[in-house]
């Protein structure tokens, strides 16, 4: 616990350093995460901060570009809407300096691509209830010759907790990429999906080694109503220390 004197010192240091309330965020919105993706014009974008307050709202230019403001030192939840696409949210965080979003980090899930995901997870619990969905992959950086390489976690589990405290368990694909209603963890694809959730969502994520729980933690995201929060190249779990 921080005592009164320490708190005053911290506040004084923050004031002296002139830490800004907001920072400028620039970038472009793309039509997919693929390397050959294209920018999307006319995307309606909303920036939320960690308290789920709207910080900025804007529409991308003819080139898909934007310049907006975000809350400094805060989570950044980006909600995007455009014709032909699902309402899509990408979650991240901001520091205390202006930020240029790397190309491809902000993208929309097309209606067509979402239909493919729906087909992959056909039969998953709550799919028919409408509302939003979270789906993606669980990753880990595995040491190898010449550095680390990306690997899919085969023993991970996911539970989404909505603002009302209700827990929603994930569905998983088997090692062949087919929905398995009996699965309780990811397989070789690392893929999962949770349906029937929206708003601020806490993802409880963990994985096991030799059938024993090894690590678990929480991730905070935003899911648009009747939209999707795709998590690809986003959920990285810590590598075992042995």
Domain map (residue ranges) of the chain: 4-100, 111-237
With the C-alpha atoms ordered 192, 193, 198, 204, is the resulting torsion angle positive or negative? negative
Quickly tell me which residue has 């899509």 as its tokens: 88
Tokens 């619990």 sit at which residue?
Answer: 125
User: Maximum distance among all alpha carbons in the chain?
Assistant: 59
Asked whether residue 8 carries a pLDDT value surpassing 70, the answer given is: no
Mean pLDDT, the chain, as a whole number? 92
Identical fold between 4-100 and 111-237: yes
Please check whether the domain covering 4-100 is classified as CATH 2.40.50.140: no
pLDDT at 148: 86
- In the DSSP assignment, the letter for residue 130 is -
Beta strands (DSSP E) in 111-163 are 133-144, 147-152, 156-162
Most confident of 52-61, 122-131, 147-156: 52-61
Q: Write out pLDDT tens, residues 97-147.
A: 999 999 999 999 999 999 999 999 999 987 876 789 999 999 999 988 888
Structure tokens at 187: 């397989």
Q: What is the pLDDT of residue 18?
A: 75
What pTM value is reported for the model?
Answer: 0.88
Q: Which CATH number fits domain 111-237: 1.10.10.10, 3.40.50.970, 2.60.40.10, 2.160.10.10?
A: 2.60.40.10
Higher pLDDT, 112 or 14: 112
Portion of the chain with pLDDT greater than 90, in percent: 83
Tens digits of residue pLDDT in 161-211: 999 999 999 999 999 999 999 999 999 999 999 999 999 999 999 999 998
Residue 1 binned pLDDT confidence (cut-offs 50, 70, 90)? very low
Whether pLDDT at 11 is above 70:
no
Q: Which of 193, 192, 236, 190 is nearest to 215 (CA)?
A: 236
Kind plus residue range of the DSSP H or E element containing 42: none
DSSP H or E segment with residue 235: strand 228-237
């Amino acid at each position: 616990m921080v005592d009164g004197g320490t708190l005053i010192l911290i506040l004084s240091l923050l004031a002296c350093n002139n830490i800004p309330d907001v920072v400028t965020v620039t970038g472009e919105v793309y039509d997919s995460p693929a390397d050959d993706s294209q920018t999307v014009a006319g995307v309606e974008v909303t920036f939320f901060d960690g308290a789920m307050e709207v910080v900025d709202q804007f529409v991308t230019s003819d080139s898909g570009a934007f310049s907006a403001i975000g809350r400094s030192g805060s989570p950044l939840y980006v909600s995007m809407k455009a014709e032909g696409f699902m309402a899509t949210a990408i979650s991240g965080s901001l520091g205390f300096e202006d930020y240029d979003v790397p190309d491809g980090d902000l993208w929309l899930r097309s209606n067509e691509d979402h239909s493919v995901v729906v087909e992959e997870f056909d039969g998953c619990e709550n799919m028919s209830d409408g509302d939003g969905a979270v789906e993606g992959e669980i990753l880990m950086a595995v040491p190898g010759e010449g550095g680390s390489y990306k690997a899919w976690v085969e023993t991970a589990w996911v539970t989404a907790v909505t603002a009302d405290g209700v827990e929603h368990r994930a569905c998983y694909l088997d090692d062949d990429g087919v929905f398995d209603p009996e699965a309780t963890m990811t397989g070789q694809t690392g893929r999962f999906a949770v349906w029937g959730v929206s708003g601020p969502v806490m993802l409880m994520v963990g994985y096991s080694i030799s059938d024993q729980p090894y690590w678990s933690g929480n991730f905070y995201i935003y899911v648009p109503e009747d939209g999707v929060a795709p998590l690809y190249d986003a959920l990285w779990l810590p590598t075992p220390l042995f």
